[in-house]
A and B are shown apart, each in its own frame.
Chain A
Amino acid sequence: MSPTAALRSITLRRFQPGRTFHSSSRAFIKVGDKLPNLDLVESSPGNKVNLSEEIKSGKSLLIGVPAAFSPGCSNSHIPGYLKHKSLKNAGQVFVIAVNDPFVTKAWGESLDPSGNSGIRFLGDPTAKFTKALDLAFDGTAIFGGPRSKRYALEIEDGKVKALHVEPDNTGIAVSTAEKVLGSSDKPATRSSKRLASAAAKEGPPTPLTTSTPMDSEDEFMSGMSSEEDDVLQESDNDDGSADDFGFDEPEPELGFSQKDAMPKKKKTFDINFKVYHPEDIQAQQDDLIDEVNMILDIRKEDAAILLRHFRWNKERLIEDYMDRPKKVLEDAGLGPSATGPPKLEVIPGFMCDICCEDESGLQSFAMKCGHRYCINCYKHYLGQKIKEEGEAARIQCPADGCKRIMDAKSLDLLVTTDLQQRYHELLTRTYVEDKEQLKWCPAPDCENAIECGIKKKDLDRVVPTVACDCKHRFCFGCILADHQPAPCELVKRWLKKCADDSETANWISANTKECPKCNSTIEKNGGCNHMTCRKCKHEFCWMCMGLWSEHGTSWYNCNRFEEKSGSEARDAQAKSRVSLERYLHYYNRYANHEQSAKLDKDIYNKTEKKMIQLQSASGMSWIEVQYLNSASQALQTCRQTLKWTYAFAFYLARNNLTEMFEDNQKDLEMAVEALSEMFEKPVTELAEPKLKVEIMDKTSYCNKRRVILLADTADNLANGVWSWSINF
């Protein structure tokens, strides 16, 4: 989010007027009625939502459903709204089910994982709200209790404007999106341009369903998105040119597409990136090859070789080729020669220059350069290159000094299937390795690549953390595991500092002194101040480093502290002692979190077991115990962040900003430790609803603190306002 966009979200924030009270539930809801002043819940039991307050003004839409996760609701009813083109014109949209908030939250996340729609999913666990609308029916037979009819209420300025209630309680007829919002002639998907660009700039408007009472930033966001919708209503039909405030410049260089999994919340420290699976990478190459094949009218194999030769820089290839086609072909190993598809030949009187074989009927092959070798030698040669040397894109003709490159078609003719496979794998690898904005996910066995537009020169301003689909989070700049908030260069230094023995030298200088005469290093491990150097037998005072004989009769009680010879030694020692202590302070905390993060891995594994135990112990459903999973994940990410805050702080110069940073760090640390403690409790205690709520609250609090810390740090980094204790 750019600073301007942030400002905008603040100015658009909805200020709620003070509460007004009116009489509670009324008998039947009809057009013109106000909503009952009753609480619904969202995400967690503690997070009450009062719709009579919430939608006092403006347009909104309430959709009642019989049950979350029921087939009718999940497959057609709500998705119909999610996909509807005019959803954005409907104002705030709420889906209400007679379910507990954990269920509605999970349901909302399953229907609208990105939260892009802005629809909020509310629970009415006791059916009080639904009953007050007189829209409840007895669902005991199917659902085991009273449930809500399927309905849609159009609300304007807190009053019912229109009612659409299914006559048979649960059918899907009058309350569908088509009926309520009007039939949409072109069914718009969520990938409308406006939404995409808005998401790119500001992140998806996250509904409150995915957050907690404390998540005020998201409150801004959801408030903002609905306000924005109001503003945009008129311009919405022109395919949402979306240039609402002039913030939505396209960002082509990042190749952003809203189709891929957007991070749920867009933070200032989040960067745009895209995950590619092996088949995507292949498709991209094929596209480029096809394009060059068409533009330059050359064979696909040649196009592929040329592209690899130009490291997939299509523009440069086409430009150069237009200028000097012969030279380009020559350089890429595609020099002129006879045409025709590659084939094996038997040539009478042929002798292979590699194996010196000349028996008749020997099959041989030559690329366009005409260097001919027997098929066995080719097999050996290509096998060696592919298997042992891992080469693919730049395998040259075996002839000495011939630069012709083996193309994929010829290769397929010559080697066995397993080698072909390996060859194509390696070819794909070169594509990723050749492109600056592509990098492999470093996680073991992960075959995905990440695209990110962050350049090397930006690395002192941003910490480009990306998350692969395999869940591995790493820094795009240096491929190390996620090290927010510390920038790459600092991380490099810190790791080096921790790894080398510069600190051993520091320890020595902090804890030892040198004999004033022979400079042997001496550690005083006890005893009095009268030192006698073992090497040179020099006698001196440990306190003042002066000659012992000068102490006269004041032995064992050094009162010669002002002596100059001694004070210099003491100064140097004090300095390195302070420096060592400072390093150890940060290092211990860094190492502690690193250690804890490792333990968290175990905890994560235990979590699964715990969740199963909890299900049988408390009768909770799988969805209802998911909070433990999110708590565990929060712990891990927060610890990872905390760990690097210490390396970061070590290099900070002392000033106000640093103090603010340390306060944030302290808050996060306290939150993490508190959550960690709760998390360790036995299953019987975890089953208590009170603790569950506490854990959920703490989890989101931890996440929140982490976001605050990272956002703050990233902003300062981007603006270059940190001052460092070192130069880099």
Chain B
Amino acid sequence: MAFATKRLGKELAKIHGNLPPGITLVTAEGFQEWLLDIQVLDANPIYTGKIFRLKFKFSSSYPIEPPEVTFVNTTDRPIPMHPHIYSNGIICLDLLGQQGWSPVQNVESICMSLQSMLTGNTKNERPEGDAQFVASNRRRPRDIDFYYHDNTV
């Protein structure tokens, strides 16, 4: 864990009070699970006035391995509508998979990527087969082989 802890400690020190607009740190207790809130800042009708909560889970090989990032659903924090976000909060983004991940990415850069992914979206819809995936999936996001085919949204 030492490797991941060191890096997360440095990230945390950098993040404190110094995050880009629309991104706020909720909790970062310990170096296994962090919660952050993100908002879409421009006037995208799908997301206006809404705040979404992200859960980061770090393994001991972070940042060599990507963290597990999902949206969480609470009373005032819905799961954003997006063709690449399943209604259980699982995100289909190549950045978060083994192939697309680079160890120079960090929590801040992931948040910004997700923010821009929402900002650019115009489709108020869930991925194809959402109901079935959500009902049947018992795997962790990192074990799912997403097929990153759609680069338009």
Contact = CB atoms under 8 A, between A and B. Distances in A.
Contacts of A402: 102
B82 to A, nearest CB: 22
Interface stretch (B2-10, B50-58, B85-93): B2-10
B64 interface: yes
A295 interface: no
A329 to B, nearest CB: 22
B11 A381 contact: no
B103 A398 contact: yes
A400 B102 CA distance: 5
B151 to A, nearest CB: 14
A388 B60 CA distance: 13
Contacts of A388: 61, 65
Interface in B1-50: 3, 6-7, 10-11, 14
Contact of B7 (A355, A399, A400, A401): A355
B104 A399 contact: yes
A324 interface: no
Contacts, number: 43
B124 interface: no
* Main SS class of interface, B: loop
A384 B65 CA distance: 8
B105 interface: yes
A380 interface: yes
A356 interface: yes
Given A355-B6, A356-B11, A380 B102 contact: no
Interface string A545-582: 00000000000000000000000000000000000000
B7 A356 contact: yes
Contacts of B61: 380, 384, 388
A126 to B, nearest CB: 74
B11 A401 contact: no
* Main SS class of interface, A: loop
Contacts of B11: 356
Contact of B104 (A354, A384, A389): A354
A489 interface: no
Contact of A354 (B7, B14, B98): B7
Nearest to A353: B104
A377 interface: yes
A380 B104 contact: no
A471 B98 CA distance: 39
Contacts of B104: 353-354, 398-400
B97 to A, nearest CB: 11
B83 interface: no
B61 to A, nearest CB: 6
A381 B103 contact: yes
29 contacts: A354-B7, A354-B63, A354-B64, A354-B103, A354-B104, A355-B3, A355-B6, A355-B7, A355-B10, A356-B7, A356-B11, A356-B14, A357-B6, A373-B103, A376-B3, A377-B103, A380-B3, A380-B61, A380-B64, A381-B103, A383-B64, A384-B65, A388-B61, A398-B102, A398-B103, A398-B104, A399-B102, A400-B104, A401-B102
Question: 5 nearest interchain CB pairs?
Answer: A400-B102, A356-B10, A354-B103, A384-B64, A353-B104
Interface of A: 353-357, 373, 376-377, 380-381, 383-384, 388-389, 398-402
